[in-house]
Structure 1
């Protein structure tokens, strides 16, 4: 695959947008576009570091050929700031997407997103706020806010809140604006929108995440579960926020996204089994819980 370093002039940021593109040698015409979002303080250099693993995954059939893009987003959390000076979500969903389509011929209607840490948060925010534009999202070790009201913020979380929330939501924080951008609130406030979109969702985190993000991701999992939003949820036993577990975890995320692109046919035997169980319980006067 060919790694290209690009720069997009835009009025949506205070600077231009530097990004990296990874395109198959025979071009990207008609291929899905995958946003690979780096963690806090990272840059487009992440794509160069991941190039060998991504090429191996594609060549090994873990994921079909895709065009991959990683913008340098600092600690923006990939959102539109409340003051409008940094409009990362708008950029990713319009100008950057269109620039990549123009340059590579990628099929941006088959849009995927994955990311780690801050990029995991950004992946969820982008996909949850724009579910009809994404086929799938695979979020790794996301530092999502583990509460639905600011007053419910746990003490341990407040220690890092300046990095996680900062002034992007206003000073003091505008709670309505925050809630519109917090993945858990987005899901809880309008679950039907996510369900009806057909968006495929994967959450994952290590059980020993050094930033305690296993608490955050578990909270979001419960919100999705309790609101009937189907998703895949993985805890990786013994895994931390960094370290040797990450290549296998990224491989699993890519595999999930490939299934989102290529959904399997219905499993009629399994569906019949489920229907039989439901009918049997109802015949005994017991209403089964929802699937």
Structure 2
């Protein structure tokens, strides 16, 4: 299955989308958030990967769309967050007939930060979010975590209000809603990331664990911020969100009738009686 490229503008914001050739209305949407100093041209760069995955049946059909947003003066803060979270999906629905009930977010680096921030603000609006090497800063980031443009991200987040701009603060403030929403969450980062983004990714993983929020997490040994990890991570993220878009809402893998969980039901009930934390997804560390 081949894809076709659609180019357009929303106001003065350029965007580009991939859709399966000949597809009609009603396809789910993957909103792609590009990284620092990138643009909607990211769609063109990942097109060969998307085509291969579609041909092999490894990617469920969907529209993949990206808007060109600024880095400095942007960072998916303020009006740029509003554009990506609200305006852009509506534009794509009107222009390409995408299904507003089946929308996912996928971002890398700066885009991973933006995708998580948007998803955690309104988790019921999104089926899934995948963040690859997300630019996540601690509350008091030091030199190790503010290399290059990350220092400017730190300053922009502080100017916009740290708690409002921080992914982890949004998670803490909205954890109950995120759990109830069934939002599917994927995190992935290399443990040799040149920007040390695995530090922030690991912190978020631990916070999700402590708050008992379901998520997929992959720390990739010896992988850096760029190739070959960039393509491998994009492949994993695309297949993750596309599968989530085609799942029934609330669907849970496993727990087959008569399976191991059913067999152990009496033991589990007794364990919960003795320790209510047994009913948690993740144990308290």
TM-score (norm 2): 0.87
Shift of 1:190: 2.4
Shift of 1:266: 4.5
Question: Quick check: 1:236 aligned with 2:220?
Answer: yes
Q: For the residues of structure 2 that align with 1:288 and 1:6, how far apart are their CA atoms? A: 51
Q: For the residues of structure 1 that align with 2:45 and 2:217, how far apart are their CA atoms? A: 26
Question: Quick check: 1:43 aligned with 2:39?
Answer: yes
Q: Who is 1:112 aligned against? A: 104
Match for residue 199 of structure 2 among 215, 224, 241: 215
**Residues 17-38 of structure 1: CA distance to partner in whole angstroms, max 9, x if unpaired?**
1111112211341000111111
Q: Who is 2:127 aligned against? A: 135
**Residues 194-250 of structure 1: CA distance to partner in whole angstroms, max 9, x if unpaired?**
111111101110111111011110001011110111111111111100011222221
Please list every run of 5 or more consecutive structure 1 residues that lacks an aligned counterpart in the other structure: 10-15, 81-86
Q: For the residues of structure 2 that align with 1:21 and 1:287, how far apart are their CA atoms? A: 48
**Kept after mapping to 1: 8 A contact 2:168/2:207:** yes
Shift of 1:74: 2.2
SS in 2 for 1:238: coil
Shift of 1:270: 4.2
Q: Who is 2:8 aligned against? A: 6
**Kept after mapping to 2: 8 A contact 1:28/1:106:** no
What count of residue pairs does the alignment treat as equivalent? 269
Question: Quick check: 1:62 aligned with 2:58?
Answer: yes
**Kept after mapping to 2: 8 A contact 1:118/1:143:** yes
Q: Who is 1:84 aligned against? A: none
Q: Who is 2:153 aligned against? A: 164
Q: Who is 2:255 aligned against? A: 267
**Kept after mapping to 1: 8 A contact 2:27/2:62:** yes
Q: Who is 1:13 aligned against? A: none
Q: For the residues of structure 1 that align with 2:157 and 2:267, how far apart are their CA atoms? A: 49
Question: Quick check: 1:204 aligned with 2:188?
Answer: yes
Relative distance call for 1:182 and 1:288 in structure 2 (3 A) is closer
Q: For the residues of structure 1 that align with 2:16 and 2:142, how far apart are their CA atoms? A: 37
Q: For the residues of structure 2 that align with 1:247 and 1:271, how far apart are their CA atoms? A: 37
| More displaced 10-residue stretch of structure 1: 215-224 or 183-192 | 183-192
Shift of 1:279: 3.6
Question: Quick check: 1:145 aligned with 2:137?
Answer: yes
Relative distance call for 1:51 and 1:270 in structure 2 (3 A) is farther
Q: For the residues of structure 2 that align with 1:253 and 1:225, how far apart are their CA atoms? A: 20
Q: For the residues of structure 2 that align with 1:102 and 1:44, how far apart are their CA atoms? A: 19
Match for residue 31 of structure 1 among 8, 23, 27: 27
State the superposition RMSD in angstroms: 2.1
Shift of 1:4: 1.9
Q: Who is 1:19 aligned against? A: 15
SS in 1 for 2:128: strand
Please list every run of 5 or more consecutive structure 2 residues that lacks an aligned counterpart in the other structure: none
**Residues 1-22 of structure 1: CA distance to partner in whole angstroms, max 9, x if unpaired?**
111221111xxxxxx1111111
TM-score (norm 1): 0.85
Q: Who is 1:184 aligned against? A: 168
